[in-house]
Chains A and B, each alone.
Chain A
Amino acid sequence: MAERQVTVEAEVGLHARPAATFVQTAAEAPLDVTIAKGAGQPVNAKSILAVLSLDVRKGDIVVIKADGDGADEVLDRLAVIASAP
């Protein structure tokens, strides 16, 4: 299981446009992807409602995990989105 820990830098946190972009990108990947806030419970990264419900704010650390072929590439892309200012 590959994982990335990222600090969210966007002013709006992982809401609005960043959340939509994040979920859209995760949804395109042919593998399971999860996201958790800090040490919290991981949720399906392909679910906009689940991601919004995490209520990730600027400065929060998120843990993104994926399993399977190409997991690292997917996680790299998601890490860039999550950490974008």
Chain B
Amino acid sequence: MSALTGVGVSPGIGFGPAYVLTHDTPVPPPGARHDGDARAERARATQALEEVAADLEERGARVGGEAQEILGAQAMMARDPGLATGVAELIDEGRSAARAVYEEFGRYREMLVGAGGYLGERAADLDDVRDRAVAVLEGLPMPGLPSLAEQPYVLVARDLAPADTALLSADVVAAFVTEQGGPTSHTAILARALGVPAVVACLEATSIPHGVPVLVDGASGLVRPAPLAEEVTTARNTASAREAVLAAVTGPGMTSDGHAVPLLANIGGPRDVDAALKYGAEGIGLYRTEFLFLDRMSAPSDEEQEAAYLDVLNAFPGGRVVVRTLDAGADKPLAFLPPQEDEPNPALGQRGLRLLRAYPQILNAQLGALARAASQSSAKLQVMAPMVATAEEAAWYVAVCREAGLPSAGVMIEIPSAALRASDLAAEADFFSLGTNDLAQYTFAADRQVGMLTALQDAWQPALLDLVALAATGAAERGKPCGVCGEAAGDPVLACVLVGLGVTSLSMGAPALPAVRAALSRHTREQCLLAAQAALAAVSAQEARAAARSHLPGLAGLAL
């Protein structure tokens, strides 16, 4: 099989057997029959169902909590005695085990769907159990991801949902390859957070056969199935040589002439703190708190929230931790809130701060827990609101934070209107943090989840750079800091340009920190300024990138 190429979104070299994630288990054809030994076929069916039940229980035991209850109930479905009787009868009539399982599950499925409501929703759980059992019987990989592996695998999928990836770590996954997605898709963000190489927008990746060894270069975007041993060695050597150069630069972020640019880490929960410390983050620039709220049937308790915040604050004594209050809605619905009205464009709907204004009890509980956590720690807690569009919204959020006893309240600049009127917003807020992913999505009217629109998601687009400049200037007019916590901050070349545009701190997935630190340390603030001006003068993303590089000679020594 020849090499494939996609967009490299998380650098590094990954190598391991392909694990091709499928969500569609093929339907066993109607009329599929066994070879005549009904007894053996019944035993096969029983064994497959038991295997599925045991696997679900084991996964449940590992995650605990509500997920364990859901998985436990699914295991009971696989072990259901009524179902087993029905399957056995169908096999006795001559149907193959896979077809019998499929049909018998279908009978219960109809009953559940017919009842609607809660039971209707259980049909999806039932389908999952059915697909797993059919997959076992057909000798196919079980749908869903193994969260333990003998050796780390290269995860290949059309696209990955956050739920697919909740249990993954760098010990399990050697690299991600998806057919869809762009540099700002969930896969890309997750991969960078885990420090796992990733390639997205890689067409036909799912045609790689299951189990075939794959070499993935997360910088160049090259995906090589069944590579030669020399290719793997060469790729690994190149990557480690580059890492050694980058690791040589340590200490706080600054330009070569001593202009300080604090380098912070983006995290999705306490589990990412180790990586932030390992790569020398000076603090946390974006603590996403969604992990506490998504995929659960009730809101997290005050105590649970407080503990999760305190864990992170305690990791940075005396340092800065910027927590983003819950950013839900759109692609991140909350199960414990009433379902939202059908939103034709959820990304343009009631999400982020808009959702929090509709459910102030959630915001108040979160801010209260944050304030209590801050009072027990020496870290400097800052909080910020997602999806702020107007100065009025900024003022409302800051007032609520003040009331909760939180002295530093900022807003994220993710909507063009907020960047355009940055000075007005900066009059209300204590600081800005620019989220370049959403800002690009809304500036170019290009959904960040759509792989085909990757070019419009490019943070080098001059229109996006214009908005960054506006936001940074507006903040400076009011004497307020303006950081960038979008993925753009992790591009070492763009990081220099952002500093030139007036950005005051950079926050990124922790593994990107060394390259950004090294790039800044090799250039003066003046060089960054010139690079920024050159990028602003360009008319395309490619031109902007090339123009900026011509003013940043230090990049050559970093192989960037």
Q: What residues of chain A lie closer than 8 Å to B81, measured between beta carbons? A: 44, 46-47
A52-B112 in contact (CB<8A): yes
B82: chain A residues at CB < 8 Å are 43-44, 47, 49-50
CB of A47 within 8 A of CB of B80, answer yes
- A36-55, CB under 8 A of B: which get 1 and which 0? 00000001101111101101
Contact B122 A52 (CB under 8 A): yes
Q: How far, in whole Å, are A69 and B115 apart by their CA atoms in the complex?
A: 36
**For residues 52 through 96 of chain B, which have their beta carbon under 8 Å from a beta carbon of chain A?**
69, 72-73, 76-77, 80-83
- The interface bits of chain A over 1-22 (1 if a CB of B lies within 8 angstroms of the residue's CB, else 0) are 0000000000010011101100
Residues of B that sit less than 8 Å from A by CB: 69, 72-73, 76-77, 80-83, 108, 111-112, 115, 118-119, 122, 126
Task: Report the bound CA distance from A20 to B60 in whole Å.
Answer: 15
Minimum C-beta distance from B76 to chain A (A):
4
CB distance from A64 to the nearest CB of B (A): 17
CA of A50 to CA of B107 in the docked complex: distance in angstroms?
A: 11
With a cutoff of 8 Å between Cβ atoms, the chain A residues found around residue B126 in the complex are 49
Contacting pair A16 B111 (CB below 8 A): no
CB neighbours (8 Å) of B76 from chain A are 20, 23-24, 48
Beyond the given pairs A15-B118, A49-B80, A53-B115, 17 more chain A to chain B contacts, judged by CB atoms under 8 angstroms and listed by A's residue number, are A20-B69, A20-B73, A20-B76, A44-B82, A46-B81, A47-B80, A47-B82, A47-B83, A48-B76, A48-B80, A49-B77, A49-B82, A49-B108, A50-B82, A53-B111, A53-B112, A55-B115
Judging by beta carbons under 8 Å apart, are B108 and A53 in contact?
Answer: yes
- From A15, A23, A24, A49, name the one whose CB has the most chain B CB atoms within 10 angstroms: A49
Q: Closest Cβ of chain A: how far from B432's Cβ, in Å? A: 44
Give the distance in Å from the alpha carbon of A23 to the alpha carbon of B79 in the complex. Answer: 11
Write the nearest CB–CB distance from B114 to chain A, whole angstroms: 9
Bound Cα distance from A42 to B119, whole angstroms: 19
* Docked CA distance A42–B73 (Å): 22
Can you list 27 A-B pairs with a CB-CB distance of less than 8 A? A12-B118, A15-B118, A16-B73, A16-B118, A19-B73, A20-B72, A20-B73, A23-B76, A24-B76, A44-B81, A44-B82, A47-B80, A47-B81, A47-B82, A47-B83, A48-B73, A48-B76, A48-B77, A49-B77, A49-B82, A50-B80, A52-B112, A52-B119, A52-B122, A53-B108, A53-B111, A55-B119
Q: What is the chain B residue whose CB lies nearest that of A47?
A: B82
Residues of B contacting A48 in the complex (Cβ-Cβ under 8 angstroms): 73, 76-77, 80
The docked-state distance in angstroms from the alpha carbon of A19 to that of B73 is: 9
Q: For A49, list chain B residues within 8 Å (CB).
A: 77, 80, 82-83, 108, 126
Which B residues are CB-close (under 8 A) to A16?
73, 118
Query: Which B residues lie within 8 Å of A55 (CB)?
Result: 115, 119
- What 7 A-B pairs have minimum CB-CB distances, sorted nearest first? A47-B82, A48-B76, A53-B111, A49-B108, A55-B115, A49-B80, A50-B82
Bound: A55/B111 CA distance, A? 10
Min CB gap B149→A, angstroms: 30
Q: Which residue of B lies closest to A55 (CB)?
A: B115
* Chain B residues with CB under 8 A of A47: 80-83
The smallest C-beta distance from A47 to any residue of chain B, in angstroms, reads 4
Q: Which residues of A contact B83 (CB under 8 A)?
A: 47, 49
Task: Give the CA-CA distance A7 to B62 in the complex, in Å.
Answer: 36
Q: How far is the CA of A61 from the CA of B111 in the complex (A)?
A: 20
A24 to B, closest residue via Cβ: B76
What is the CB-to-nearest-CB distance from B297 to chain A, in angstroms, rounded to a whole number?
9
Q: In the complex, how many angstroms separate the beta carbon of A59 from the nearest chain B beta carbon?
A: 15
B69 touches A17 (CB 8 A): yes
- Chain A residues whose C-beta falls within 8 Å of the C-beta of B122 in the assembled complex: 52
Chain A residues with CB under 8 Å of B108's CB are 49, 53
Complex alpha-carbon distance, A23 and B74, angstroms? 13
How far apart sit A43 and B81, CA to CA, in the bound complex (Å)?
A: 11
CA separation between A19 and B76, bound complex, in Å?
11
Give CA–CA (A15, B77) in the complex, Å.
Answer: 13
Point out the residues of chain B lying under 8 angstroms from A17, CB to CB: 69
Say how far A67's CB is from chain B's closest CB, in angstroms: 17
Cα distance A23–B76 in the bound complex, in angstroms: 9
Residues of chain B within 8 A of A19, CB atoms compared: 73
In the assembly, what is the distance between CA of A24 and CA of B108, in Å?
19
Instruction: Give the docked Cα–Cα distance between A67 and B69 (Å).
Output: 30
